[in-house]
A and B are shown apart, each in its own frame.
Chain A
Amino acid sequence: MADDSEPGALDEGTENAALGEALAAEHAAVWGYGVVGAALGVEAQPAAVASETAHRDVRDQIVLLLASRDAEIVPAEGGYALPFPVLSAVDAAALAVVLEDGTAAAWVRVLDQAVERSTREFAVGALSAAEVRAVTWRSTAGQPTVTTAFPGLPES
């Protein structure tokens, strides 16, 4: 994996490592939406299902890409630690925001590390889709600001 503390030239290795991190984030999102869906009301189920399906599709595209390069394919974990208890529909929407923000950060990382134009195109598409979903979930969660200027970029 590329070490960001000692930056060097970008190559297919840095790109594949970042894609591996994105794959791990997508695995987590797919798992997390199972939790989200279980805590949401009936009216919000379609949004959760659509979000999970979107992450499954992106996950599968990463797997195909890495497999075509004979690069390491990170497997999904059996489970993940939740950042907070999910006891209500609002909690579920807040968890969905965490999932989307997590994948957004991974895709910004891919943009930073990629060498292939096609990979950047893939990444910016996945990043934009994650932010659009996040806007919906922030609204559902009742967050005061539903848009963000720099999805996936650290605050400092």
Chain B
Amino acid sequence: MPPLPTPRPPGFSRRTLLAASAAGLAVLATGCSSPPADEREQVTSAQADGLAAQVAVQQTLVDAFTAAGTADPALAAEVSVLADQAADQLRRLRAAAPGSTASAASSAGAPPAAPETRTWLRDQVAAAATSHAAACLDQSGARAALLGSIAAGLRGQEARLA
């Protein structure tokens, strides 16, 4: 009997994904006119801008976790793993969009006091997930895979916070 599908298909690594994204965007940033080694990873300026925008979205979410934790210390302890995951997602997005800057992030506003903080944070997570999923549609290759995966991860967080 064949085995059940594995979560990690061979020959398709996160490192490959991120290296490919970075290489594609680096070509764009330097204005190199010769085609990249991997034609799949050619990226338009709109795609590069779109990915940079998602870095700002993720930065806003990371800031929201910090603000929520300040407003409700008990919640901070409960969601520390989620906050770490959001920060990890931000690092990956930055690595895939080397031209992005943190200054473009917008504020999510001040969270309400407990016990409303949790619902506020869940809404921030949901908004970021929706944004990444929408942005994924206009990307391709590794960038689409990364944004789609992050969007899905945040949907899982949203469910956890429900």
Contact = CB atoms under 8 A, between A and B. Distances in A.
Interface of A: 4-5, 7-10, 21, 24-25, 28, 32, 77-83, 98-99, 101-109, 111-115, 117, 120-121, 123-125, 127-132, 134-136, 145-156
Contacts of B142: 112
**Range class of the B interface residue count:** 35 or more
Given A120-B148, A150-B153, 4 more contacts: A109-B9, A111-B149, A112-B17, A127-B149
Nearest first, the 8 A-B pairs at minimum CB distance are: A101-B7, A102-B5, A149-B85, A112-B145, A4-B11, A128-B155, A131-B152, A124-B148
Interface SS of A by simple majority: helix
B68 interface: no
Contacts, number: 170
A130 B146 CA distance: 16
B15 A156 contact: yes
A147 B4 contact: no
Given A80-B4, A81-B3, A128 B11 contact: no
A149 B89 contact: yes
Contacts of B88: 149-150
